[in-house]
Amino acid sequence: MKEFLFSLKERTEVLFYFGLICLFAAVCCLVLTKTSMMQVLGTSAWFKPFKFFLSSAIFVWSMGWYLHYLGNSPSINWYSWGMVALLGIENLYITMQAARGLASHFNVTTPSLAMMWSVMAGAAVAISIWTAVVSFPFFTQSFPLLPTSYVWGIRLGLIVFVIFSLQGLTMGARMAHTVGGLDGGPGLLVVNWSTLHGDLRVAHFMGMHGLQVLPLLGFFVLRKPIFILIAGVFYVGTTTGVFLQAILGRPFLKL
Task: Write out pLDDT tens, residues 170-185.
Answer: 999 999 999 999 999 9
- H helices of the chain, in order, are 2-11, 13-35, 47-67, 74-100, 111-134, 148-166, 168-174, 201-208, 210-216, 225-247
> Region 65-88: what's the mean pLDDT?
96
Burial 56-85 (b: 16+ CB within 10 A, else e): bbbbbbbbbbbbebbeeeeebeebbebbbe
Q: pTM above the 0.85 mark?
A: yes
Percent pLDDT > 90 in the chain is 95
Q: What is the structure's pLDDT at 246? A: 98
In sequence order, the β-bridge partners of residue 44 are 39
Q: Is the pLDDT of residue 226 over 90?
A: yes
- Those residues whose C-beta lies under 8 Å from the C-beta of residue 219, and which sit 6 or more positions away, are 147, 149, 150, 153
CA atoms within 13 A on the CB side of 216: 6
Confidence of residue 116 (pLDDT cuts 50, 70, 90): very high
